[in-house]
């Protein structure tokens, strides 16, 4: 029987399983986490688990994808930059939404970004962010204008720096608020913008304005 992913009961079950996974990952290695432990922690039956997933590996793979899908659905916003000759809509990354979302889901992101056993989550988050950056740069970049730094190096540098900052913010116990982190990142990207680093325009304020306009 096909599972209706939009059914509120299905959503509740999957959220419970994801929370159980994160809870267990704080305490055990992934290879030591069994389906039984997951279902007991989530207070659901094994039969219900297998209605949604083939096995533990399938569950972990889909759970990670769902976490990333939810995150990027929240932080990616459409921006109409009418300074561009093409006047095209392009998706950009809301820094404030990102820090607020991570702050509210700190237990999940701390485990998945700061555990030695979850490098696969960091790599997938890195790739998703890099793809968004690349799409933005390819859309807004004037091929006739030479960049001071090759786009691929810009993407690698900014992607690594931003995710590294999030990692340490979580690891240090979020001693700074999401608002303060947003303001600090905006100040740093302002400098990039002043140096004509095109990839910096991918990161915007909550209102959708480039950080250089803040």
Q: Is 158 helix (H, G, I), strand (E, B) or coil?
A: helix
Segment 75-93 shows an average pLDDT of 72
The pTM of the full predicted model, rounded to 2 decimals, is: 0.83
Q: Would you state the pLDDT for residue 214?
A: 38
Distance CA 187, CA 13 (A): 41
Distance CA 42, CA 20 (A): 5
- Token duo for residue 79: 């921006």
pLDDT at 1 over 50: no
Segment 146-156 shows an average pLDDT of 85
Within the chain, where are the H helices?
A: 8-25, 35-42, 46-52, 56-75, 95-104, 106-114, 119-140, 151-171, 178-194
Alpha carbon distances (Å) from 44 to 15, 26, 52: 12, 20, 12
pLDDT digits (tens, 9 = 90+) for 29-62: 888 899 999 999 999 999 999 999 999 999 999 9
pLDDT at 6 over 70: no
Max alpha carbon distance in the chain (Å)?
Answer: 60
Q: In whole numbers, what is the pLDDT of the chain averaged over residues?
A: 85
Residues 6+ apart with CB under 8 A from 160: 126
Q: Is residue 212 very low, low, confident or very high in pLDDT (cuts 50, 70, 90)?
A: very low
């Amino acid at each position: 029987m096909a599972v209706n992913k939009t059914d509120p009961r299905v959503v509740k079950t999957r959220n419970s399983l994801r929370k159980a996974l994160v809870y267990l990952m704080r305490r055990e290695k992934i290879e030591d986490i069994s389906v039984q432990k997951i279902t007991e922690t989530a207070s659901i039956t094994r039969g219900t688990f297998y209605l949604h997933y083939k096995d533990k590996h399938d569950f972990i793979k889909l759970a990670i994808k769902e976490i990333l899908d939810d995150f990027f659905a929240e932080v990616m916003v459409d921006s109409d930059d009418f300074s561009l000759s093409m006047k095209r809509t392009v998706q950009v990354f809301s820094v404030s939404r990102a820090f607020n979302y991570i702050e509210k889901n700190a237990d999940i992101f701390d485990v998945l970004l700061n555990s030695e056993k979850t490098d696969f989550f960091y790599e997938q988050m890195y790739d998703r962010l890099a793809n968004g950056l690349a799409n933005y740069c390819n859309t807004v970049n004037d091929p006739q204008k030479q960049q001071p730094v090759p786009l691929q190096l810009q993407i690698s540098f900014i992607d690594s720096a931003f995710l590294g900052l999030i990692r340490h913010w979580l690891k240090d116990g979020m001693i700074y608020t999401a608002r303060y982190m947003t303001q600090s990142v905006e100040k740093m990207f302002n400098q990039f913008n002043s140096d004509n680093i095109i990839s910096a325009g991918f990161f915007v304020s909550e209102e959708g304005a480039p950080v250089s306009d803040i």
